[in-house]
Structure 1
Amino acid sequence: MLIDIFHDTVCPWCRIGKKHLFDALAQRQEQEINIRWHPFLLDNTVPIEGYEFRSFMQNRKGMKAEEMQQMFDSAQRAGEAAGVKLDFDKISLAVNTKLSHQLIALAPSNVKNDVVEAIYKAYFEDGLNIGNIDVIVAIGTAYQMDASELRLQLNDDAAVDKVVAESTFARLNGINSVPFFVINNKVKVNGSYSVKAFLETLNRAALLDIPAKI
């Protein structure tokens, strides 16, 4: 089964959607699953040093402080129900996510899903600046990636351009929000869904993939 996941690493609903999907996959116990991660930059205008998180979010969403807190509380409750932690009090910076997506692209296939989760944890639980190269290199080295080589790769302008190009391509092809999932190149899921809904969708995608009998 092939699953394409479009996401951003500062999107709480992307982390929730990932958890729901992986819980559904665990129940199906697919023999072979190929997951491809695609960047979707929610805001590529954020500088390397980041912006103060709450004021940035208020301006971006056009919300009052009380409304924004309600939004955070709602996402946090959804995260708790899914089994993931979203600690918005720990987050001090709105960050640029290009480096985190570069790391995901560079990560070996056998640890790529774990690296994605480690990036989410660094931001949503530890409040780290995942737009900072030292933070990203530290995550990569925790998965046996060479620090010196990784720094060179992360500083490659062509790699940065590729992340931006992939994100732009997704938007040009009608993806306007994340998480967004495409299963077996046929079934599309826009949103974090529930485990039950993902199971139903995965089952439908599997049936569509069965060759017709002659």
Structure 2
Amino acid sequence: MQIDIFHDTVCPWCRIGKKHLFDALSEYNGEAVDIRWHPFLLDNSVPSGGYEFRDFMQERKGISLSQLQQMFDYTQRMGEAAGVVLDFTKVRLAVNTTLSHRLIELTPEDSKAKVVEAIYQAYFEEGLNLGNIEVILAIAKSCGIDFPDLALHLNDKIALNAIVMKSDNAHSLGINSVPFFIINNEIKVIGSQSKEAFVNQLTVNSEQ
């Protein structure tokens, strides 16, 4: 079974959706699963140094500070219900995520999920700037991803531009929000959903 995951590494609902999917997979006893991660850049115009998070989000959403806090509180509660930490008091910067997606791309297949989770943790629990090469290198090292010239591979301009193109291609496929999951190129699961919804979709696919 192939599952394509379209996501961004600063998307809290992507972290929730990932948790629900992997919880469902832990109960799934069907065929082997091949997971493919695809970048979906929510805003590639953010510079590597980032923007002040709350100002950026207020302008992006067009809402008041109190409404923004209500949104954070709700999302955090949904994260807690799923079993993931989304600590918006730690998040100080809106960041560019291209480098983080490049790290995922460079990671061996059997370690990608671990690296994705480490990236989420760095942002949502530690408030780190994912647009900073030193931060990305530290995440890689913590996951055992350490090979010669890793920094050069991460900073490869052609490869980084390719990630932007892949994200643009997702839009051309009609994907306008994330998380977005495609099972065996047929079943589309939009949004974070629940563990039970994923279990149902996995079951439906296995019966086809």
What TM-score does the superposition give when structure 1 sets the normalisation length?
Answer: 0.95
Shift of 1:202: 1.1
Q: What SS does the aligned partner of 1:49 have?
A: coil
On the 8 A contact 1:137/1:147 being kept in 2, the answer is: no
Query: Could you tell which deviates more after superposition, 114-123 or 23-32?
Result: 23-32
Q: Residues of 2 paired with 1:122 and 1:41: CA distance?
A: 18
Aligned-CA RMSD value: 1.0
Aligned residue runs from structure 1 range 2-151, under 5 A: 2-146=2-146, 148-151=148-151
Deviations 1:13-43 (A, max 9, x none): 0000000000011011345110000000000
On the 8 A contact 1:90/1:126 being kept in 2, the answer is: yes
Letter in 2 for 1:41: L
Q: Residues of 1 paired with 2:68 and 2:93: CA distance?
A: 15
Q: Residues of 1 paired with 2:30 and 2:22: CA distance?
A: 11
Deviations 1:179-200 (A, max 9, x none): 0000011100110001111111
What TM-score does the superposition give when structure 2 sets the normalisation length?
Answer: 0.98
Q: What SS does the aligned partner of 1:111 have?
A: helix
Q: Residues of 1 paired with 2:29 and 2:134: CA distance?
A: 37
Q: Residues of 2 paired with 1:31 and 1:149: CA distance?
A: 37
Q: Residues of 1 paired with 2:148 and 2:132: CA distance?
A: 15
Unaligned ranges ≥5, structure 1: 209-214
Q: Residues of 1 paired with 2:134 and 2:125: CA distance?
A: 18
Letter in 1 for 2:138: A
On the 8 A contact 2:20/2:194 being kept in 1, the answer is: yes
Label 1:31 to 1:205 Cα distance change in 2 as closer, same or farther (>3 A).
closer
Aligned to 2:168: 168
